[in-house]
Amino acid sequence: MSERIFLSSPHMGGTEEKYVQEAFDTNWIAPLGNNVNEFENQVKSYVGTPAACALSSGTAAIHIALDLLGVQRDDIVFVSSLTFSASANPVLYLGGKPVFIDSERDSWNMCPKALKKAFEQYEQKGQLPKAVVAVNLYGQSCRFDEIKAICDSYDVPIVEDAAESLGSVYQGQMSGTFGDYGIFSFNGNKIITTSGGGMIISESEDNIKLALKKATQARDNAPYYQHSMVGYNYRLSNVSAGIGRGQMEVLDERVNQKRAIFDRYVEGLKGIDAIELMEELPNSKSNRWLSTAVINPDKTDIRPSDVIAKLQESNIEARHVWKPMHLQLVFEDNDFISMDEDIAAYLFNYGICLPSDTKMTEEQQERVIEIINSLF
């Protein structure tokens, strides 16, 4: 069998080992040190935010953001339904109740009309949400001009889940900087990785100082171990941050590679009318973390599972789109707000994530395209 083509795997730039070795040479291998500080500085400089805290995962970043926003037991939090479960699980950690918001067809992200509908319904109940978690899916930014206007009108803060969208731009502004808090993920499959890790960013340095305290067990400034609030063990290690330093040096290159992969799919699959690749919102630039498409059921009997199985025969990895949270058993009792049609379910049923690995050669991608064309 030929060499495996992955969906999206870690891709080292070449300098990561130097920074990791620095951590060993200085014996700073704990969750603090020069690599952590410099990695935070790199991200702050890249996205243009004054404050950042490197954490053990993107999930931890969402958890701390919601904690800082005061989410408590029985509080309502509006969350994008079409996402990975890490966007919603931290609401449960704090005892809150996620209410899931449907997608819109063009961006695949939180539908502003459905969000407005949710606000109106829950305002009538006297249960305005404590926060809104808006997810930038597969690198595509939400319509934050509309979403932010709605949230601002109700004075409800936004947690921007930019786990998949580092390097993306919407209306001239970097992804992660639209919410009261922004979060990034550096999991192994993301556009850059620290093996596992995340970051929380904010315009408020005081809030990020509090996030750092929360992430390091909330120790008080005392000559002994004293704690006046609940804390977590969420700080990123200096070793992992060394990988992140090297990865930040190639982030723009990775974005360009991901976008080139997407463009080759557009060209190579243009003869298949049923394949509708995710469009880019006007006045935006997606990092195209994953190249995704809908296989229109009105134009073919072929389903995503058929394409995934056919590619797997040649040792090529493709995947279904995220299963929406409102369809997950763990959230079966939670409310779901949509307009007339369940768009998130449609995208799940007919969507596909195509191989988007930046180590994939053009020849390998041509083989992927050839197999898909032959199936149709």
State which fold the 16-248 domain adopts: Aspartate Aminotransferase; domain 2 (3.40.640)
Kindly list the domain boundaries of the chain, sorted by start residue.
16-248, 251-375
Distance, CA of 122 to CA of 259 (rounded, Å): 40
The pLDDT-based confidence of 43 (bands split at 50, 70, 90) is: very high
251-375 placed in CATH 3.90.1150.10: yes
Residue 297, pLDDT above cutoff 90: yes
Distance, CA of 235 to CA of 218 (rounded, Å): 12
- pLDDT score recorded for residue 1: 55
User: Once rounded to an integer, what is the mean pLDDT over residues 265-289?
Assistant: 97
- pLDDT score recorded for residue 98: 98
User: Tell me: the pLDDT tens digits for 68-110?
Assistant: 999 999 999 999 999 999 999 999 999 999 999 999 999 999 9
The pLDDT-based confidence of 30 (bands split at 50, 70, 90) is: confident
Q: Compute the mean pLDDT over every residue in the chain, rounded to the nearest whole number.
A: 97
Dihedral in degrees, nearest 10, Cα atoms 55, 140, 96, 59: -20
Distance, CA of 359 to CA of 376 (rounded, Å): 26
- 16-248 and 251-375, same CATH topology: no
Describe the chain by its helix, strand, coil percentages, rounded to 5.
Answer: 40, 15, 45
Distance, CA of 170 to CA of 144 (rounded, Å): 8
Which amino acid appears at position 160 of this protein?
E
Distance, CA of 192 to CA of 152 (rounded, Å): 32
User: Once rounded to an integer, what is the mean pLDDT over residues 312-339?
Assistant: 98
pTM equals 0.97
Residue 158, pLDDT above cutoff 60: yes
- pLDDT score recorded for residue 2: 77
User: Tell me: the pLDDT tens digits for 347-361?
Assistant: 999 999 999 999 999
Cite the active site residues: 190
- Cite the beta strand spans of 2-94 per DSSP E: 51-55, 76-80
Contact 124, 132 (CB under 8 A): no
